Amino acid sequence: MQSIDAALAAINALKPNEKLVYSQIAKKYGVDPGTLSRRHRGISRSRQAAAQNQQAVHPQHEAELIDYIDRLTKRGLAPTRSIIRNIASQLAQKQLGYHWVDRFVHRNSHLVILKRTTPIDRSRRRADSEKKYQLYFELLRQKIDQYKVEPRHIYNMDEKGFMIGVQSRSVR
């Protein structure tokens, strides 16, 4: 709790018959008496509270956006900066600027982490399509039928496949 908040809590805890002296409470909590007075009377508010009205996206919508980013990331579909900006623009009902994502990440740095991903090489990108997968599994089915391969003779392989005669590096 910040000093000003503690001082405001102390003012609110005063009994109705107790005398309110801003300078004494301000001195006790190490805050400016004028600031304490204005804040207590509702004339001014904290910088954070004032900045919330200037944000393009309401803090509640930002919390929902963070939750959505988290859900996508857990599913392995981490959104790009442009996707985040587009979603936030829809929430704000106006087009947000190019650097909005930077400020969003800065405001929520304890929750959002930007990571650079390694790009997929061209051959993998070309191979990664629904049509290519369909062709692969159709060919696989044809070969299984052609050579009468029984299910007990079908094995799962990793990306390296089954390499005969190749040894892994080992220290002797």
171 token code pair: 């220290």
Q: Work out the average pLDDT over 83-106.
A: 91
Three-class secondary structure of residue 134 per DSSP:
helix
Q: Work out the average pLDDT over 87-112.
A: 89
Residue 154, pLDDT above cutoff 60: yes
pTM attached to this predicted model: 0.46
* pLDDT tier, 171 (very low <50, low <70, confident <90, very high otherwise): very low
pLDDT at 73: 83
The Cα 95–Cα 89 span in angstroms is: 5
Residue 148, pLDDT above cutoff 90: yes
Three-class secondary structure of residue 22 per DSSP:
helix
The Cα 27–Cα 120 span in angstroms is: 61
130 token code pair: 């629904």
* Residue carrying the six token digits 């392995």: 76
